[in-house]
Structure 1
Amino acid sequence: MHIEPFHIAVPQEDIDDLRRRIRATRWAPATPSPAWQQGVDAAWLRELADYWANRFDWRAAEQRLNRLPQFIADVEGQRVHVVHRRGVGPAPYPLVVTHGWPGSFVEFEALLERLCDPAAFGGDPADSFDVVVPSLPGFAFSQAPARPGMSAFQVADQWVWLMNGLGYPRFGAQGGDLGAGVSIALAARHPQVVDGIHLNFLPGSYEPATGAAQHALTPEEEAFLRDRNEWVAQEGGYAHMHATKPLTLAASLNDSPVGLAAWIAEKFRAWSDCEGDVERVFSKDELLTNISLYWYTQSIAPAMQMYWENRLQPMRFAHGSRVSTPVGFARFPKEISRPPRSWLERTFNVVQWNDMPGGGHFAAMEKPDLLAAEIRSFFRPLRT
């Protein structure tokens, strides 16, 4: 596998063009509704846009991100952007961590430090990891798929190739959002090389075997499915659009930076443990670093394409199907979906399950200490 160092270097003309586009925004007329009731709050969005155009320093963000050891790897003919940080300890354990939407590899800056050098945060250096954070196909600096069919299952196959090329014939996996789907696919398709997977999210397409008397739903599972269906009806429009008409939406979001910011930032507020105030958890600089990454790499269209592919290849398990790979699950209180343990145990070998005291969908950014401790605990007995 060919791999070469990579540094982010956005052309100045792209930065100037972004600022020009923001300042030329044609703002949508106000509607008579309370703030955030019908989506992003217009006043807050104007404030964010003004900051983006006049005060946000992309070069400072770029310089910080370039401190991460980044590479471009040729994975079966596909250019994959990857952060590969080696651990500080006697025997770092290899771990591939996969992001989702609307996140990116920047979600894991704080988590990387805690996993790679636990002693710097009061932990045991024996718990250190070599962490590999690939950008999903079409996200950030990873090449978009040239052919259809790149669902979580095919990405998992690429990650095995990538990890082997980096010198890790066996490894563990962690993920939330789309990254949870990739991690599950790794466990299901490659149990011979994946020691265990740790999740902080369960994909909505996951369906275990149900229906027969011995598989009847428990009251807790019935309540979970009711809550999930209600959430999908009220909040799941974005996913339905991504999975059914992504190119229609991409035509707007790839052309309007403010539209892109609205589409992404609203989710950081709605899905995080912020009590309605997104800047209690994420600064404008943190939000705009991630949003700018989507903008400069024009990755919103291929990012949404993965929803289309996952819809065509959902995670459904037939009667008798079992995934023997050990699974750990951290259930955060403000996560958009909170399945009961039994729902996972219908298919998976759940060996660690913990309810977290705080945090939401973006756990690696919101609660990096909590998530790092969970990951260390889960993989500790699997390191041999």
Structure 2
Amino acid sequence: MHIEPFRISVPDEEIDGLRQRLRQTRWAPAGPYDPWQQGVDSGWLREFVQYWADGFDWRAAEHRLNLQPQFVAQVDAQRVHFAHRRGVGPKPYPLVITHGWPGSFFEFYALLDQLCDPAAFGAQPEDAFDVVVPSLPGFAFSQAPTKPGTSAFQVADLWVSLMRGLGYDRFGAQGGDLGAGVSIALALRHPQNVDGVHLNFLPGSYEPSRDAGQAPLTQDEQDFLRTKEQWAALEGGYAHMHSTKPETLAYSLNDSPVGLAAWIAEKFRAWSDCDGQIEQAFSRDELLTNISLYWHTQSMGSAIRMYWENRLQPMRFAAGQRVSPPVGFARFPKEISQPPRSWLERTFNVVQWTDMPRGGHFAAMEEPALLAAEIRKFFRPLRR
């Protein structure tokens, strides 16, 4: 596997072109409804975009991004971008962490500090990890798939090749959102390589087998499925669009930075533990670093196509099928999905389950210390 060091360096003309587009925005008229009732609030978005155009320092963000060691590799004919940080401890344990949408590899920058150098945060150096954070195919600096069929399952195969190429024959996996699906697929398809999986999200397409030999649904499971269906009807329009007509949406999001910012920021507000005040959970610079990564790499269209692929290859399990490596789950209170433990135990060997005190969908950004403690605890007995 050929690996090269990588540094982010966006041309000046690209940055200037973005600012020009932002200043020439043709704003949609605001409707007669309460702020955020029908989507992104116009007043908030105008201020946010003005800061993006005149206050946000991409070069400072770029410098921060480049503080983490980054690389690109040719993995099974696929160009993969990844951060790879070595742990500070007697025997760091290898861990691959996978992001989702609308996040990016940047989601885990604060978490990397906690996991790679635990002693710096009052934890034990024996709990250090070597962490690999790849960009999903078609996200940021990873090449978009050149042929159909790249779902969470194929990404899992790619990650095994990447980790082997880095010298890790056995390792752990962690993820939320789309990354949870990839992590589950790793455990399902490659149990000989994956010691265990820690999750902070359950993929929406997950469905255990419901053969005659299984116990009937509990009341908690019925309530969860009902709530999940209601959420999809009221809040899941984005996912339906991504999974059915991603190409139509891609033209708009690739051409309009304001449209891109609205599409992403609305989810960071709705899915986080912020009490409706997005900047209680994320700074404007953090939000814009993530949004700018999509803009400068023109990757939103290729990123949302993964929803199409996952719809065609859903995470449904056949009768008697189980995932053998142990699973840990951190259930954050403001996460968009709140499955009961029994729903996971129908398929997974759940050995650690924690109801977290605070945090939402973007746990690695919102509560990196809490998530890191859970990850350390889960993998402690699995280290080899």
Whether these two folds match at TM > 0.5 is yes
Say which SS state the counterpart of residue 174 (structure 1) adopts.
Answer: strand
The corresponding residue for 2:154 is 154
1:170 to 2:179 alignment: no
The answer to whether the aligner puts 1:273 opposite 2:273 as a matched pair is yes
For residues 140-189 of structure 1, the C-alpha deviation after alignment (integer angstroms, 9 at most, x for no partner) is 10000000000000000000000000000000000000000000000000
- Paired position in structure 1 for 2:107: 107
What secondary structure is seen at the aligned counterpart in 1 of 2:214? helix
Corresponding position of 1:17: 17
Paired residues in the alignment total: 384
Structure 1, unmatched stretches of 5+, are: none
1:236 maps to 236
Residue correspondence of structure 1 range 280-319 to structure 2 within 5 A: 280-319=280-319
Structure 1 residue runs of 4+, over 6 Å off?
Answer: none
Q: Secondary structure at the match of 2:108?
A: helix
Shift of 1:212: 2.9
Q: Tell me which residue corresponds to 1:55.
A: 55
* Secondary structure at the counterpart of residue 64 of structure 1: helix
The residue correspondences of 1:161-240 to structure 2 (distance < 5 A) are: 161-210=161-210, 212=212, 214-240=214-240
Match of 2:56, SS state, is coil
Pairwise CA RMSD = 0.7
| Identity among equivalent pairs (%) | 77
Quick one: distance in 1 between partners of 2:160 and 2:188? Answer: 12
In the alignment, the residues of structure 1 paired with residue 215 and residue 263 of structure 2 have an alpha-carbon distance, to the nearest angstrom, of 39
| Aligned partner letter, 1:146 | T
The question of whether the paired residues in 2 share the 8 Å contact of 1:177 and 1:201 is answered with yes
| Whole-angstrom distance in 1 between the partners of 2:240 and 2:215 | 29
CA distance in 2, matches of 1:168, 1:7: 24
Deviation of 1:108 (Å): 0.4
**Deviation per CA, 1:5-24, whole angstroms, max 9, x where unpaired?**
00000000100000000111
Residue 287 of structure 1 deviates from its aligned partner by 0.3
TM-score by length of 1: 0.99
Distance in structure 2 (CA, Å) of the matches to 1:346 and 1:214 = 8
Letter in 1 for 2:372: A
- Specify the alignment match of 2:364 in structure 1: 364
Query: How many Å apart are 1:77 and its aligned residue?
Result: 1.1
Are 1:79 and 1:143, in contact at CA under 8 Å, matched by a contact in 2? yes
Deviation at 1:215, TM superposition (A): 3.0
CA distance in 2, matches of 1:323, 1:101: 24
1:280-303 Cα offsets, whole Å, 9 max, x none, are 010110000000000000010010
Instruction: Write the distance in 2 (CA, Å) between the matches of 1:141 and 1:175.
Output: 19
Q: Within 1, Cα distance between the matches of 2:30 and 2:135? A: 37
Deviates most, 214-223 or 126-135 = 214-223
Deviations 1:232-287 (CA, angstroms, capped at 9, x unpaired):
00100000000000010111010000000000000000000000000001011000
The answer to whether the aligner puts 1:91 opposite 2:91 as a matched pair is yes
Mapped to 1, the partners of 2:67 and 2:130 lie a distance apart of 16
Cα distance, 1:213 vs structure 2: 6.5
State the alpha-carbon separation in 1 of the partners of residues 42 and 11 from structure 2.
Answer: 30
**1:318 positional shift:** 1.4
